[in-house]
Amino acid sequence: MKKLILSLIFLFSFSLAISGQKDEIITEIVEARGYGATQEAQLRNAKLSALGKVVGEFIVGQITYQSNKDEVFQNIKEYKGGYIETYEILKLGTEYVDIKATIRVIKDNRIYIQGDNEIDIEDQMNNYRSKRDVINYLDDPKEAFHISVKGIQIDPQPYKVRFKISNVLKWQPKWVSDLETFVIASTDIGKTSNQVNIRMVSQRGFDPTVGIVQSLFESKPKQSDDPMVCFASKSNSNVDGCRNLAGGFQNMPIHSELPIIIIAYDKDDNEIFKRRVLVDGNKLYENVYRNQTKKYFLTKRTFDQPAFIVYKNGIQQFDITADIDTEIAEQIKTFKLEASI
Residue that terminates a domain, selected from 54, 89, 105: 105
Taken as a whole, the chain contains a residue count of 341
Rounded Cα distance, 322 and 166, in Å = 12
Tell whether 329 and 194 lie within a shared domain.
yes
- Determine if residue 12 is left, alpha or beta; phi over 0 gives left, psi from -120 to 50 gives alpha, anything else beta: alpha
- Decide if 45 is inside a domain: yes
Rounded Cα distance, 98 and 92, in Å = 7
Question: What is the pLDDT, as a whole number, of residue 222?
Answer: 67
- Decide if 225 is inside a domain: yes
Q: Which long-range contacts (CB under 8 A, 24 or more apart) does 66-75 make?
A: 69/40, 72/40, 72/44, 73/44, 73/47
- Decide if 113 is inside a domain: no
- Decide if 251 is inside a domain: yes
Domain with 88, as residue range(s), is: 23-105
Tell whether 69 and 152 lie within a shared domain.
no
Residue that terminates a domain, selected from 79, 105, 131: 105
Strand 292-295 with 315-325, pairing: unpaired
Tell whether 229 and 334 lie within a shared domain.
yes
Tell whether 326 and 198 lie within a shared domain.
yes
Rounded Cα distance, 316 and 334, in Å = 23
Question: What is the pLDDT, as a whole number, of residue 7?
Answer: 45
Question: What is the pLDDT, as a whole number, of residue 67?
Answer: 39
Tell whether 87 and 154 lie within a shared domain.
no
Rounded Cα distance, 163 and 149, in Å = 13
Tell whether 295 and 202 lie within a shared domain.
yes
- Decide if 37 is inside a domain: yes
- Decide if 4 is inside a domain: no
Question: What is the pLDDT, as a whole number, of residue 85?
Answer: 87
**Strand extents, DSSP E, 24-95:** 26-35, 82-92
Torsion of CA 247, 251, 256, 262, to 10 degrees: -170
**Three-state DSSP class for 32?**
strand
Tell whether 318 and 208 lie within a shared domain.
yes
- Decide if 256 is inside a domain: yes
**Distance of alpha carbon 153 from its chain centroid, rounded?**
49
Tell whether 143 and 60 lie within a shared domain.
no
Question: What is the pLDDT, as a whole number, of residue 91?
Answer: 93
Rounded Cα distance, 176 and 105, in Å = 65
Q: What is the 3-state secondary structure (H, E, C) of 240-259?
A: CEEEECCCCCCCCCCCCEEE
Rounded Cα distance, 262 and 324, in Å = 12
This prediction has a pTM of 0.56
- Decide if 230 is inside a domain: yes
Q: Which pLDDT tens digits describe the chain residue by residue (341 residues)?
A: 444 444 444 444 444 444 444 456 788 899 999 998 888 888 888 888 888 788 765 444 333 333 344 554 455 554 556 788 899 999 998 889 999 999 888 755 454 444 444 445 455 556 667 777 888 888 889 888 988 888 889 999 999 999 999 999 999 888 888 888 888 877 889 998 887 755 544 444 444 444 444 444 444 556 788 899 999 999 888 888 899 987 889 999 988 889 999 999 999 999 999 999 999 999 999 999 999 998 877 788 899 999 999 999 999 999 999 999 999 999 999 888 888 88
Tell whether 162 and 45 lie within a shared domain.
no
Residue that terminates a domain, selected from 80, 105, 130: 105
- State how many domains the chain has: 2
Tell whether 85 and 183 lie within a shared domain.
no
Tell whether 190 and 317 lie within a shared domain.
yes
Tell whether 166 and 237 lie within a shared domain.
yes
